Amino acid sequence: MTALREAPGTGKVHSVFNRTVNVLAPWGQLVTVAARQLDDAPWTVRADTRGWTDMGVRAGDPVGFSAREISFDSLDTAVLLPGAREWFAKRIPLAAITTAELASCAAALGGLLEDHGIRGGILQEHPKEGTAQANAFDAGIAQGLRTGREALEAAVRAGDGAAIGGTALQLLGLGSGLTPAGDDFLCGLALFSAQPGSRLGAVRAALSAVVGQHPDRTTLLSWTTLREAVDGRARESLLELLSMLFRHRAEDAAGLARHLRAPVDRALGIGHTSGTDILSGLLAGLRLETELRGSL
């Protein structure tokens, strides 16, 4: 809201999807105008509509920004801003959570991802007898995601900041779509490392540097999402899942998994594999946090 008040002007539509329109604002920030059924998120305005694809909005259309409204010239309509509720990302303190509780949380989330996650990104397909082999391009991406993730986790365990940055750079932009799988994994890991009390400070610092220095390595949407994640900001559904994970941490893994099933399902609904890939990054953060605390 502050940016709207201080930097009015004309932007343009960047991309259009069924439930979101991404707009490049006059000051260079990517802003999402989302349908009302979506959750709150950084740089997102939720509008009183259920979808955009049938409304005639097109990439490149001019969009007016002011303290009062975001106006789409092609629609002769506007999203009014006075009275809008501002949203702030919650932080999840980790210092009081024990190593055993972290391990239980990791076991619960890992089991849910294995059983219900969407394969094809970080969570790779099970080999199936009699099916055709993936093409060379897809196989190369899958191999890069696997080796990049393993190398990054090894660098974190070794406490090697330079290697953390180098392996993160290998994952940045790796995959297909507007938010590649490598980015989504980094997003989940960054979000966990940004929570107060995390022992993954070296991860956050390295990821912040990589993202800041390489904006052209990936898509604008994915880069924007990653930049927010290293500061602890992400979609409300992800933060609520993280909060619930630790709210019920005293339970055994099976009981915790029952409480988590609904919020995990909501997160898995992000994109095609994006939700799964982000949660895979959160899970990596959980496991690494557990290992690092156990080694102290």
Q: Does 129 have pLDDT greater than 50?
A: no
Q: Does 290 have pLDDT greater than 70?
A: yes
More confident residue, 83 or 209: 209
191 close to 283: Cβ distance less than 8 angstroms: no
197 close to 207: Cβ distance less than 8 angstroms: no
More confident residue, 232 or 249: 232
Q: What is the model's pLDDT at position 130? A: 44
Within 10 Å of residue 268's Cβ, how many Cβ atoms? 20
Q: What is the mean pLDDT of residues 159-180?
A: 96
The two three-digit tokens of residue 124, written as one number? 């790779």
Q: What is the mean pLDDT of residues 171-183?
A: 95
At 53-101, the pLDDT tens digits run 888 899 999 999 998 999 998 887 889 998 888 899 999 999 989 999 9
- Closest among 264, 291, 215, 230 to 112, alpha carbons compared: 264
User: Rounded to whole angstroms, how far apart are CA atoms 146 and 137?
Assistant: 14
Q: Does 235 have pLDDT greater than 70?
A: yes
Q: What is the model's pLDDT at position 138? A: 85
- Closest among 162, 164, 113 to 292, alpha carbons compared: 164
pLDDT band for position 254 (cuts 50, 70, 90)? confident
Q: What is the model's pLDDT at position 131? A: 47
pLDDT band for position 126 (cuts 50, 70, 90)? low
Q: What is the mean pLDDT of residues 137-155?
A: 94
Q: What is the model's pLDDT at position 7? A: 80
Q: What is the model's pLDDT at position 1? A: 65
Can you give the pTM of this predicted structure?
0.93
134 close to 176: Cβ distance less than 8 angstroms: no
User: Which range is least confidently modeled, 85-99, 128-142, 231-245?
Assistant: 128-142
Q: What is the model's pLDDT at position 236? A: 95
At 14-62, the pLDDT tens digits run 999 999 999 999 999 999 999 999 999 999 999 988 888 888 899 999 9
